[in-house]
Amino acid sequence: MKVIIKAVVVLLVTLSNGAFSNKIDTLLNSDGIFENMGVDTFSSDPLTSLSAVLSNPVNVNKAYDNFRRKHNKTTESSSESSKSTFKTNLLKIASHNTKARNGKASYEMGVNKFSDMTIDQVISQHTGYKGNSTEENHSSPSSRQTRATPPQSIDWRNYGLVTPVRNQGGCGSCVLFSVTACLESYYTLTHGQRQIDLAEQELLDCAQGANYPGNNGCDGNGFGPTFKYIKDIGETTEGEYGYTGRQSSCRAGGKSHPAKTPNYWSIAARDENALKNAVGLRGPVSVAIHVNDAWVNYRSGVFDAPCSGGRNHAVLAVGYGSEGGKDYWIVKNQWGNGWGDGGYIKMRRNYGNLCDIAGDAVSCNPDVEIALG
């Protein structure tokens, strides 16, 4: 018996450096934060190994320093609470991914730039949806429809209608990015598939005040007043009005506004079929959702974790489809392409209106039905 135990220990020691680190980083989808750590406490199971490794504060410090370096957070102040949150999130991600790789979950989580933040911190600093667009008076879609049935699946990225993933930074400007992305798609649709990069900063500075009640800059905004601005004024380009992530005085006077919507319309609330019709026939749609810690930690697959609660974040629905018997929405976020699956998430569709994705959805394409070629 002693010989057998010794042989197993020798085998595991052989795996303790590069192979061990690779297994842990693979489980966490963490891009090498455990590389070259040379730990001594481990087992053949990566989850058990991680728990043992993180019981040593020295290892936690090393992994945390690697994380901060890889995610360009070294200029931010560190704290014991953020380090503790980081450790908690690592164990949560590893536990979930172990289930996913055993066929017990349809999506994986991963380490990202928010892994040292609590969900309350993420929501307060990186979301910003306020209000409900259905409180506003929006037009209904044109009756000039030639196709009554939307396609079974669609990904508007494949048709050049979706602009690159942006990053709202630490400002509650998610609505402004969602609406801008919607208008960019509408512009591309109506200008021979020529893309444009529009100025979220203009909305942050100018779609505010008495004419746009409910909008509060980096403290959050609503669909109604923001869509009203791009109907009333339009939006200039990023080159003309670059994003700083800080609200300032409006500088839109005298600038050209090449992109504008003639109108916008709210889609029937909490009706996923109506949302499918809008996305499938009219293109990308701005939607508000509820995000929680599972959503923030998403990396790949079809997200179907419980996420009930009030809507707190705005994103863009750019398509839909099915995978492994599960219907899903393709959703574009604005937390940079290092978040999620290249900046996107697949969210379970026809699953009880998951995260209330159809609770407040607005299209900036009131009159152009898309014919697929």
What is the pLDDT, as a whole number, of residue 4? 35
Continuous segment of H or E residues that includes residue 331: strand 326-332
What is the pLDDT, as a whole number, of residue 66? 95
* pLDDT mean across residues, the chain: 90
CA 16 to chain centre: 35
Q: In which band, very low, low, confident or very high, does the pLDDT at 14 lie, cut at 50, 70 and 90? A: very low
CATH T-level topology, domain 124-363: Cathepsin B; Chain A (3.90.70)
Residues in CB range of 274: below 8 A, 6 or more apart: 267, 268, 358
CA dihedral sign of residues 334, 340, 343, 348: negative
CB 90 within 8 A of CB 63: yes
Q: Is the pLDDT of residue 5 over 70?
A: no
Percentage of the chain exceeding pLDDT 90: 79
**What positions carry a catalytic annotation?**
174, 313, 333
> How is the chain split into domains, by residue range?
2-112, 124-363
Q: Is the pLDDT of residue 7 over 90?
A: no
| Each residue's pLDDT tens digit, 216-237 | 999 999 999 999 999 999 999 9
| Each residue's pLDDT tens digit, 126-154 | 999 997 654 444 555 544 444 569 999 99
**Placement of tokens 């979930």 in the chain:** 96
CB 330 within 8 A of CB 302: no
What is the pLDDT, as a whole number, of residue 10? 30
Per-residue pLDDT averaged across 64-85, rounded? 91
What is the pLDDT, as a whole number, of residue 140? 53
| Each residue's pLDDT tens digit, 288-332 | 999 999 999 999 999 999 999 999 999 999 999 999 999 999 999
What is the pLDDT, as a whole number, of residue 372? 84
What is the pLDDT, as a whole number, of residue 260? 95
What is the pLDDT, as a whole number, of residue 77? 76
